[in-house]
Structure 1
Amino acid sequence: MNDIYSFPVEEQLNYIQGLPYKCEYFHPGFTCETQILHMFPILFSQNAKVYLPVHLLPFLIYKRKAFFKNPISTTIRSLFSYIKSVLFLTLMVQAMRYNWCKQVRFRNTVDPLIPISGGFIGAFSLLLESKSRAQEIMLSIVPRYFETILNLLKRKGWIKNIPKGDVFVFAMILAIIHYYYQHDSKALKTTYRGMFSKFWGKN
């Protein structure tokens, strides 16, 4: 992977200055299209390792009864969901890389539009995921977005850093979760309610 995507210093300087560069440095010996086919099984196998614990742990914790009751259908559904998750991440990365190559080549420039459009296009691979998992991914990405904005504002000096502010935010979030668990538990996911009941007891 590192050899395939090696980036010479001269080309890095061009990139920093917003100048076009040869995308062949990212995939020597391949065109943009053949590189997609070449990298697909590599990325798929790597992403499969990433998603294995994500799907395996809930399967072992929450689907044991369903597995013993109907092992074949439960395994097939879980395996299908696992493959869709791996495909989601693989296709998203591939779409963003392909978009980057093509925009640099055809527009002959490097600007913020490239990662913005790449992220927008790649995000449509989320349609492969189930509705519940897509919501989980969205809820995990949104805080990262606001964290990025917050760090940017801090770096520009537009807001002051609050010592241990992350602890305060965590306390607020936990308070909200506790409130809904007590007064409107159906607002929480079924798996979360099951986990909370093990620690805090049934509501």
Structure 2
Amino acid sequence: GGDSPVEGRMNGISGDEKSRRGGGQKKRLQVPKTNTGNRKGKMTRINTFPAALNRKQADPRWDESVDNFAQRIRELRVAAQNLVTLNIEPNTSKLCPHKYSCVQNCFYKGLFRSFAAGYLFKSLLAFFSALLRGKLGKKHHTLEDIFRGKDALQFGQFVGIMSFVYKAVLCSLRRYFRSNSPKYHAIAGFVAGSAIVFDDPSRRSSIALYCIVRAIADLLANLKASKKLPPVPHGDAIVFTLSQVPIIYSFVKCPQLMSRGYYKWIQKMGDVTSEGLRRSTRSRISDSMHRLPGEKWEPCEYHAHEPSCAAYNAKDWFRGLGRAIPIYLPVHILPTLLFTPGKIVKNPKRFVKQKLENILRSAVFLTTYQFNTKSTQCFLRNLIHDDPSWISVAAGLSSGTSIFLEHPKRRTELTLYVLPRALEVCANYIIRFHSSSDGMIQKSVPLLSLLGFQTSLAIWMGIQAVPEFTEMNGLNRSGLRAVFGSKH
């Protein structure tokens, strides 16, 4: 059965020498155990570790810890290899509900899939918005700008990293503590929220403000549903109405307090010009919010072509319908196109009928909103021949009552839209008129935005992990599912 001398010489080693080497390889350095309790002749390896380091004898759990660590290293190496070769590795952890292994789930369902979801969402949102507003193909709205621009790629990067970090932290906490708890979801969400630093800095504050308001609203809804908080009748309408006070005040008296885009949107919907509004309600010769001594009060100049305020506002209510319908086309259609397109295919006739009714009802609400604002402003300033700040406050309260014309299911969504705008105005008011000279408030805005977004994500992920918490805004739930998936 051994090599012949010829074969051995061909290999450069004689048969006898190879035999001697092979025999030498089988020998191991062994000594008899000194323990007299062992059977005679039983051999053991020489222990070259000092007694103080011989943890194996001191603590039997040492073996298990070393073996577990080595096993984890082997699993990670195999998982990395499978990740590169696209081999599907099934999940073996009973604590994690996802289909693939934790490593593959972090990369496939987290980084890669969520990046694609974020990129597609941002690019398709820009595409359909430009299409419905008639701006597709124009400057900054070409197909190349939309699908190959930095904006969609940066947003996808932010979403992908956020999902990856969330899944990695959550799986690590489960494995480390060998349990599953809603607090692990909340912790993972808070850590993952730090990924917002990868998004465009110009929109971080807005995203954080919107998310924290919506997350707190979901938390309050669940607390009310579980009877831990008493319900407030028409609470959404009350908050909406109160939110209009700082918004209309800023629009009329100090436009610098609100974002330029939102100011332009209200201006377009109300069909008023900046100059006409300024000459009607503020100083004509300075940037002051009030007329200077000696400046004469004048009738409303933003509708100088229609001297009668009552006639102008009545006619403008109908014209406002035409301005509101294009605004609400994407609002009512885009969410279905992006999140649940199957509903359109399943019953297109019902979809069209329902959306037309919703768009018309929302348009009636919005044109009444601007009608109430301008009518109140016109009536009070003509009554006292002056423009104090309280008139814009009254106009805000009057405009807010129009929310009762909107569908009850839409009222909460509208409140969640305007409340961050109102808070933004209040924050800018404090920064502009009441901040210290060292600019401490301004410097803390980026940190507050980061903490706000992290907190909102912690609230959302914690809510989803609590079985008795089933209340969540439909848009919030769809967005979270699109980013993080249904099984974490």
TM-score by length of 2: 0.37
Are 2:303 and 1:27 equivalent residues in the alignment? yes
Gaps of 5+ in 2: 1-270
Equivalent pairs: percent with the same residue? 19
Q: How many residues align?
A: 202
User: Aligned pair 1:160/2:475, yes or no?
Assistant: no
Contact 2:280/2:302, CA 8 A, preserved across alignment:
no
Once residues 82 and 153 of structure 1 are traced to their aligned partners in structure 2, the CA distance between those partners, rounded to angstroms, is 37
The answer to whether the 8 A contact 1:59-1:78 is kept is no
Counterpart secondary structure, 1:6: helix
Structure 2 residue aligned with 1:200: 484
Structure 1: distance between partners of 2:435 and 2:316: 41
Aligned equivalents of 1:116, 1:147: Cα separation in 2: 17
Is the aligned partner of 1:13 residue 2:283?
yes
- Equivalent residues in 2 for 1:26-65, closer than 5 Å: 26-30=302-306, 31-62=308-339, 64-65=341-342
Post-superposition shift, 1:163?
4.9
Q: Distance in 1 between matches of 2:346 and 2:280?
A: 61
How far is the alpha carbon of 1:140 from its aligned partner? 2.2
Partner of 1:170: 453
Partner of 1:76: 353
Q: Once the two structures are superposed, what CA deviation does each residue of 1:60-118 show, in whole Å capped at 9, x if it has no partner?
A: 24554444444333322221111111221111111101111110111222112211111
CA contact under 8 A between 1:154 and 1:160: conserved in structure 2? no
Residues of 1 paired with 2:419 and 2:365: CA distance? 18
1:101 counterpart letter in structure 2: C
Residues 313 and 375 in structure 2, CA contact (< 8 A), matched pair in contact too: yes
Q: Return the alpha-carbon distance in structure 1 between the equivalents of residues 385 and 279 of structure 2.
A: 19
Change (3 A) 1:9 1:106: closer
Distance 1:8 1:127, change over 3 A: closer
> CA separation in 1, counterparts of 2:413 and 2:281?
38
Shifted more, 33-42 versus 132-141: the winner is 33-42
The structure whose Rg is larger is 2
The residue identity in structure 2 corresponding to 1:196 is: L
My pick for the range that moved more, 57-66 or 95-104, is 57-66
Check whether the contact 2:373–2:399 (CA below 8 A) recurs between aligned residues: yes
CA distance, structure 1, for counterparts of residue 280 and residue 315 of structure 2: 26
More helix by share: 1
Indicate conservation of the 8 Å contact 1:20/1:105, yes or no.
no
Runs of 4+ in 1 over 6 A off after TM superposition: none
Structure 1 stretch displaced more, 50-59 or 71-80: 71-80
CA change 1:6–1:130 in 2 (3 A) is: same
How far apart in 2 are the matches of 1:74 and 1:61?
A: 14
Q: Which moved more, 1:58-67 or 1:92-101?
A: 58-67
Partners of 1:114 and 1:10 lie apart in 2 by 13
* Cα distance change of structure 1 residues 89 and 10 upon mapping to structure 2, 3 Å threshold: closer
1:187 alignment partner in structure 2: 471
Structure 1, unmatched stretches of 5+, are: none
Query: How far apart are 1:53 and its partner, in Å?
Result: 1.0
Q: Distance in 2 between matches of 1:2 and 1:96?
A: 12
Give the superposition deviation at 1:177.
Answer: 1.5
Native 8 Å contact 1:20 1:104 kept in 2: no
